[in-house]
């Protein structure tokens, strides 16, 4: 008989976590009322939050609970008829063993629970397989314990990034429209509030621009949480605009740091390249001749500079595109999320081409009536990012 485990809470919170913030995070993630979560935190005894789990399932529950601010441990469920002591060296033994090959593609390139070959999160992939087996056994056992889904109340488990047909680029925008029309006034108001805050912050020289770029992923993470709430039958609320500040904010800010640092480096490269080119011209007659200047701007050198900028900027944008969603909804680290975002974009060049063309047309049309159409286009496109994330990283057929 295979060994089973339980996840135990023993009254401790993560370092620096505030009780009320943990209550809110726990309630939102696991769909319980605040009072139930608050009573859990007040307990003076150990509480078995989940029993009869495989090792992979238990680790998944542990990771999700720790992201809300709880400190939990995984205990083996010992046989009641056994007098043998528990193996206290199990964790140490596990650390010494190399990570097994990826259960999806069989590759040996597995680091920190993520397959570098196909991008699958191993624990989540194994969990969905275990759930499928549990469903079969539960049908045959009328006395089986109910399976409360504490971890990932999202639809399905991450199995991607997957390649999707080109037409899905249009489908992302259509579903983004669906999200918008569920709560149009709230979506518009949330975006207007963010734009006003960004404008006011940018009034502070230099520092304002830095802060806006650093916290933009945090705000985007909040929008992703709001879109997920709609996907699950709840409402998008103004509070979702700030929800990212209480959901893995540190990693969301790190996404902004990496993104901004990348573009700063790109700016330095362009400045050095362009500066060197203009320096060679000096005070020559070319600087005074508009025709000569125009010819220079169309020269192979300028074309090479443009290609260099695109070659560096596009990967940065790909790394940023899905990163806030992967961080706030799946708890990934910033660097892992940005790597996975690049993989997702590279696997879906054609859908993004369709998406980009349609999106550009919508932006042009939205800008024509004094820009008022952008009040519809912008929230719709923001929601479409969540739709694309779900489509690429969560394959429902698996």
Tokens of 31: 């769909």
CA angle 220, 223, 229 (to 5 degrees): 150
CATH 3.30.1390.10 fits 5-80+98-140, yes or no: yes
Sequence-ordered list of residues with C-beta below 8 angstroms from that of 112, at least 6 positions apart, any chain = 336
What pTM was estimated for this model as a whole? 0.59
Q: Which residues, listed in sequence order, are joined to residue 110 by a DSSP beta bridge?
A: 115
Sequence-ordered list of residues with C-beta below 8 angstroms from that of 30, at least 6 positions apart, any chain = 37, 68, 150, 153
CA distances from 193 to 179, 241, 369 (A): 19, 9, 21
Tokens of 26: 């726990």
pLDDT in the model for residue 57: 81
pLDDT in the model for residue 60: 82
Tokens of 340: 């996975």
Q: Find out whether 201 and 211 touch, Cβ atoms under 8 Å.
A: yes
Q: Find out whether 160 and 393 touch, Cβ atoms under 8 Å.
A: yes
Domain boundary assignment for the chain: 5-80+98-140, 168-393
pLDDT in the model for residue 26: 80
Instruction: Give pLDDT tens digits along the chain (398 positions).
Output: 568 888 888 888 888 888 888 887 787 777 667 777 777 887 777 888 888 888 888 888 888 888 888 888 898 886 544 444 444 444 444 444 566 777 766 667 666 666 656 555 666 666 655 554 544 444 444 333 334 444 433 445 677 788 999 999 999 999 999 999 999 999 999 999 999 999 999 999 989 889 999 999 999 999 999 999 988 888 899 999 999 998 889 999 999 999 999 888 888 877 777 666 666 555 455 555 666 656 666 666 667 777 777 777 888 999 999 999 999 988 889 999 999 999 999 999 999 999 999 999 999 998 887 888 899 999 999 999 999 999 999 865 43
Query: How many Å is the Cα radius of gyration of the chain?
Result: 25
pLDDT in the model for residue 287: 55
Which ranges constitute the DSSP H helices of the chain? Answer: 19-30, 34-41, 55-68, 90-96, 122-140, 168-182, 184-202, 207-231, 249-281, 290-297, 300-321, 323-330, 334-346, 349-367, 374-393
265 CB neighbour count, 10 Å cutoff: 12
Tokens of 385: 């990012």
Given CA atoms 218, 224, 226, 229 in this order, what sign does their dihedral have?
negative
CA–CA gap between residue 189 and residue 307 (Å, rounded)? 39
CA–CA gap between residue 109 and residue 95 (Å, rounded)? 17
């Amino acid at each position: 008989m295979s060994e089973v485990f339980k996840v135990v809470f023993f009254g401790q919170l993560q370092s620096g976590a505030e009780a009320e913030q943990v209550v809110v995070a726990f309630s939102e993630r696991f769909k319980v009322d605040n009072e139930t979560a608050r009573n859990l935190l007040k307990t003076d005894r150990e509480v078995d939050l989940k029993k009869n789990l495989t090792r992979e399932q238990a680790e998944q529950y542990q990771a999700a609970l720790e992201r809300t601010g709880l400190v939990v441990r995984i205990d083996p469920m010992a046989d009641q008829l056994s007098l043998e002591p528990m193996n206290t060296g199990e964790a140490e033994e596990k650390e010494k063993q190399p990570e097994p090959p990826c259960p999806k593609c069989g590759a040996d390139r597995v680091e920190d629970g993520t397959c570098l070959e196909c991008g699958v999160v191993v624990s989540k992939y194994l969990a969905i397989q275990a759930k499928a087996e549990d469903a079969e056994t539960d049908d045959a056992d009328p006395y089986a314990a109910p399976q409360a889904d504490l971890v990932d109340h999202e639809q399905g488990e991450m199995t991607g990034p997957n390649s999707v047909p080109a037409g899905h680029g249009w489908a992302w925008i259509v579903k983004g429209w669906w999200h918008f029309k569920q709560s149009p006034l709230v979506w518009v108001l949330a975006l207007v509030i963010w734009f006003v805050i960004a404008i006011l912050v940018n009034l502070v020289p230099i520092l304002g621009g830095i802060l806006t770029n650093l916290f933009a992923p945090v705000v985007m993470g909040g929008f992703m949480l709001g879109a997920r709430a709609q996907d699950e039958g709840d409402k998008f609320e103004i509070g979702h605009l700030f929800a990212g500040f209480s959901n893995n904010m540190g990693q969301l800010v790190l996404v902004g740091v990496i993104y901004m640092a990348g573009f700063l480096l790109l700016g330095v490269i362009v400045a050095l390249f362009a500066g060197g080119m203009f320096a060679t011209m000096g005070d020559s007659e070319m600087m005074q001749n508009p025709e000569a200047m125009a010819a220079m701007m169309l020269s192979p050198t300028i074309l090479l500079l443009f290609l260099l900028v695109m070659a560096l900027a596009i990967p940065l944008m790909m790394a940023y595109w899905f990163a806030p969603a992967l961080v706030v909804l799946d708890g990934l680290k910033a660097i892992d999320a940005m790597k996975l975002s690049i993989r997702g974009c590279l696997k879906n060049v054609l859908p993004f081409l369709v998406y980009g063309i349609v999106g550009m047309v919508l932006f042009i049309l939205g800008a024509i009536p004094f820009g008022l159409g952008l009040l519809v286009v912008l929230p719709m496109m923001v929601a479409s990012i969540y739709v694309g994330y779900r489509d690429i990283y969560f394959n429902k057929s698996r």
